[in-house]
Chain A
């Protein structure tokens, strides 16, 4: 584990240094990333230009969901976003080169092309989140205050697990990145809106099949003092860390199985 972190830091560091050599281009890319993700929030703001409530949620409440989901995805994307290149590596056999180095393949694949410009998404979501926290009219208990960082980290871990499971599938189906993207970026698109606007079946799927609801919906509903549209027991609101641990465990197993099945290419 320590070896993996060290390798990750080494490779990511090299990429950061090399991006910094072209500072102007880096700034442009980061601003671009910021603006592209900000468009999502612009869409929400436009909706609230026409209505005061969306699914019963006010603008600050929706912004809270948006900010937490965006920060969680942003963190996962920053750390593991390069994983969706894995299919290409499997297809063209360049994974071979990672296997002959004295560092865990996982760390090497994750840190490859580490892109600091992804901070654009995080910054943008964090600004929205900060504004939401200031504008929300809720009474903060110590437990609620603690729940915010816990849900951000758990959410990032759940998104991260999805990235890794998606990468693991690319060992068998080299074009699985599309499917994975629909769960990560698509999942973000889902969880930045109030759950009350979606069909119950979709919510059930997003709770029990792909645990997107644990990224922010359930803990956020608790903080906002709102009932859960599925009427699930209240203690589930605190289960995000547990779900995150399980998701990471599954991701670890999937990765191992995938790597084991790797068989290089003929040239």
Chain B
């Protein structure tokens, strides 16, 4: 099947000027996206992660037509985004976690009404989609408030709804869970999962919250310094990154760093100790051994955080 989104050696180079001294400035280049290629098939839900400044937002901006690539070839639903931006706009939905696409001073309801007319959404479809979003994203009480009065989490939910009223084939989300509380995050994730499984909407999302990826995406792409360094499932990422989980153990009293096979002591703080073990290994045998040999009060397992995974990937890549 032809890919819905296809990037071939796509590049984006920014010319930037930096101050050098009082009046002089020097020009330099930032290769924000440095030759990226990938395909996304219809119906996929893909996580796009990487450290700050990796080039995630820049990629999304090229996929929407906001930015023109400096090189390479890029197609979304067969359309060259930069060339036919407005035609593409009818077929995609975009949510920027950092800023709203709604009209700041208009009530949410008026913003949606404007979206309806701008996208020429048939009345019945609009009514259906809006009702669904209002219910699932819990927007009922917010419809009459101007967007500027909404809290960050409320605004984000409002934005997600606005991006979906016209039934886009592709939804891009740039940090959709940034700053959301636990309840809102769960709501948004549940909503996106349904959208993907029930409607088959293709979703590309960037995030710094690995839980988003774990709960939503079967495929994850990692970008750093504008280059794609991983494209596969999340398990594969842990394997590639050689990442570790951490066992946090509270003993009854202070002990010297414990030594057991398959784990290495990382930190000791009074009676609490941190033990790292490979993410691919099971925690069960370690827990069994610890409980058999030491007096325990409490114990928990910490999943690796995305930054650690990526940091490790880079340490490994640099060592190659």
Contact residues in B for A14 (Cβ distance below 8 Å): 103, 106, 110, 113-114
Contact residues in B for A102 (Cβ distance below 8 Å): 86-87, 89-90, 118-119
Chain A residue nearest in CB terms to B32: A266
Chain A residue nearest in CB terms to B93: A100
**Interface residues of chain A: helix, strand, loop or mixed (majority):** loop
* Total A-B residue contacts, Cβ distance less than 8 Å: 63
**Interface residues of chain B: helix, strand, loop or mixed (majority):** mixed
Within 8 Å of chain B (Cβ to Cβ): is A10? yes
In the assembly, what is the distance between CA of A110 and CA of B89, in Å?
19
Within 8 Å of chain A (Cβ to Cβ): is B184? no
CB distance from B100 to the nearest CB of A (A): 7
Within 8 Å of chain A (Cβ to Cβ): is B129? no
A18-B105 contact in complex given A96-B66, A100-B64, C-beta closer than 8 Å: yes
Within 8 Å of chain A (Cβ to Cβ): is B125? no
Contact residues in B for A267 (Cβ distance below 8 Å): 57, 98
A18-B96 contact in complex given A102-B86, A104-B86, A263-B14, C-beta closer than 8 Å: no
CB distance from A169 to the nearest CB of B (A): 18
A113-B64 contact in complex given A10-B118, A102-B118, A103-B118, C-beta closer than 8 Å: no
In the assembly, what is the distance between CA of A100 and CA of B93, in Å?
8
In the assembly, what is the distance between CA of A154 and CA of B40, in Å?
52
What string of 1s and 0s marks CB contacts (under 8 Å) between B105-149 and chain A? 111001001100111000000000000000000000000000000
Within 8 Å of chain B (Cβ to Cβ): is A40? no
Within 8 Å of chain A (Cβ to Cβ): is B186? no
Complex contact B85–A99 (CB within 8 A) = yes
Contact residues in B for A264 (Cβ distance below 8 Å): 61, 66-67
Within 8 Å of chain B (Cβ to Cβ): is A93? yes
Contact residues in A for B117 (Cβ distance below 8 Å): 10
A97-B110 contact in complex given A14-B103, A264-B61, C-beta closer than 8 Å: no
Complex contact B114–A99 (CB within 8 A) = no
Interface residues of B (CB under 8 A from A): 14, 53, 57, 61, 64-67, 85-87, 89-90, 92, 94, 96, 98-101, 103, 105-107, 110, 113-114, 117-119
Interface residues of A (CB under 8 A from B): 3, 7, 10-11, 14-15, 17-18, 93-94, 96-97, 99-104, 112-113, 263-264, 266-267
